[in-house]
Chain A
Amino acid sequence: AKMFTQVYGDNGKMKEYHYTGPVEHRFSPYSFNGGTVLAVAGEDFAIVASDTRLSEGYSIHSRDSPKCYKLTNTTVIGCSGFHGDCLTLTKIIDARLKMYKHSNNKSMTSGAIAAMLSTILYGRRFFPYYVYNIIGGLDEEGKGAVYSFDPVGSYQRDTYKAGGSASAMLQPLLDNQIGFKNMEGVQHLPLNQEKAVQLVKDVFISAAERDVYTGDALRICIVTKEGIKEETVPLRKD
């Protein structure tokens, strides 16, 4: 607030902006550690993919820090944003899953986990978890399900969603390739698993070209009724 009075001056006219007084450097509880996550739902499969780079500012903390976390045999979550909050959130989710299993004698379904995550995130509405979450898994009918969240718990079920630092680059591309948006006279073919995996790889290669926070390697988790398969593909390291 102090800076603005200097800019506008006493008579309301804009002055030259040149702040000369002391500046207090406060501790910020948040930091941005980068990373991109992506989830795609198919007829009988779901894919959750993330890059493995962990950065801070212009530095890289780690080239091997995947952002996909396995929750149950049918659900994987991708978390990107502030790494401290990602870790805390996944620990809390794991604990809640165990508690549910012990009380209800069954594993949580993907939809239930999504609903629960929404309340966990909103519980910190006034000091949010700085995490962009995307859940990918199979629903109770065995069909692929993707749930995407904002940092304070708003969520919805999607067919495909990108989150994290390169989300703005990936989402329009997915809209076109999976949602067939802005295309005329194109046959709407349902997505099969091989095509989906190849698309995810291509899309991340593109993201790594232009987003500095995305790169090093791509971790793909493919969820089917047989279980969860993991694949790692190298990406640009620059």
Chain B
Amino acid sequence: MDPSGLKLNFWENGPKPGQFYSFPGSSLTPGCGPIKHTLNPMVTGTSVLGVKFTGGVIIAADMLGSYGSLARFRNISRLMKVNDSTILGASGDYADYQYMKQIIEQMVIDEELLGDGHSYSPKAIHSWLTRVMYNRRSKMNPLWNTVVIGGFYNDERWLEFSNLAVCLGLFSVRLFFVSMQPLMREVVENKVEITKDEARALIERCLKVLYYRDARSYNRHEIAIVTKEGVEIVGPMSCETNWEIAHMVSGFE
């Protein structure tokens, strides 16, 4: 009885009796040719924030591609519209995000070509993307991104994130999610829902604080809003910042 679709020859790359077996991903002796798997992220994006409100979801990200500590690309978009019900924001390696963007766009086109009136739900996109990322990590060649997917489908709001390996739901991702949590929690906790304006104000405040405190951020960002009307990507925008206290900080004269 063949469970159709299952690859049963799992010994394909397995050990041959008596031979040394190199486990997947183990470092081979140098000089074995070029390395064809991701070692480190190169051009990276910092935080992505997401919040649900009554009637939709907002995702925001700044427009910086850092090359280590160099602010190399200052006008890149890290948000994309997947379809009329889903938006996606990515942090981490920008090249991997560009690849992901390409395959997602192709997938959406292929689906439109079917012409059956159906489109992918945010949950479906998230599930599919998680599988893609998991399978890449299983080949020891991960897509070095943390992706936030937001959507509004069948009157249901969706906000989840997907990682190198893990997938789950959260409000803000990347390095500074621990510092944004209290800010966001203050507004969101103990309330069943927040309004669009409250959500927008919260996101802008978090972006401003991130600009003040995250050393790899930039004061230029985009915001994507998805509601039952569809997707709107607003930007580029900047925050009003106040550096009045700067002269009081010792060492910054």
Contact = CB atoms under 8 A, between A and B. Distances in A.
Interface of A: 24-27, 29-31, 33, 54, 56, 59, 61-62, 65, 82-84, 87-88, 96, 99, 103, 123-124, 126-127
Interface string B19-56: 00101110100000000001110000000000000000
Nearest to B8: A123
Nearest to A124: B10
Contact of A123 (B10, B27, B38, B137): B10
Contacts of B165: 29-31, 82-84
A84 B134 contact: yes
B138 interface: yes
A83 B170 contact: no
The DSSP consensus for interface residues of chain B is loop
Contact of A84 (B1, B40, B166): B166
B21 A126 contact: yes
Contacts of A123: 10
B183 interface: no
**Closest CB pairs A-B (n = 10):** A84-B165, A83-B166, A123-B10, A62-B168, A29-B137, A84-B166, A61-B168, A127-B24, A99-B3, A84-B134
A87 B130 contact: yes
B108 interface: no
B24 A61 contact: no
A45 B109 CA distance: 50
Interface residues of B, number: 31
Contacts of A65: 168
A24 B167 CA distance: 26
Contacts of B167: 83-84, 87
A54 B168 contact: yes
B169 to A, nearest CB: 6
B14 interface: yes
A99 B6 CA distance: 11
Contact of B137 (A25, A33, A84): A84
B138 A127 contact: yes
A54 B163 CA distance: 14
A107 to B, nearest CB: 16
Nearest to B163: A84
Nearest to A130: B165
B3 A96 contact: yes
Contacts of A59: 177-178
Given A54-B168, A59-B178, A96-B3, 9 more contacts: A27-B39, A29-B137, A61-B170, A62-B169, A82-B165, A83-B166, A84-B137, A103-B1, A126-B21
Interface in B150-175: 163-170
B15 interface: yes
B222 to A, nearest CB: 25
A126 B170 contact: no
B112 to A, nearest CB: 26
B15 A62 contact: no
A126 B14 contact: yes
A42 to B, nearest CB: 32
Nearest to A103: B1
Interface string B225-246: 0000000000000000000000
Contacts of A82: 165-166
A25 to B, nearest CB: 8
User: Quick one: which of A56, A65, A83, A84 has the most chain B CB within 10 A?
Assistant: A84
Contact of A33 (B3, B166, B169): B166
B142 interface: yes
B134 A126 contact: no
B103 interface: no
Contacts of A87: 130, 134, 167
A5 B103 CA distance: 47
B188 to A, nearest CB: 13
Contact of A126 (B23, B137, B142, B163): B23
Contacts of B137: 29, 84
User: Quick one: which of A27, A29, A59, A88 has the most chain B CB within 10 A?
Assistant: A27
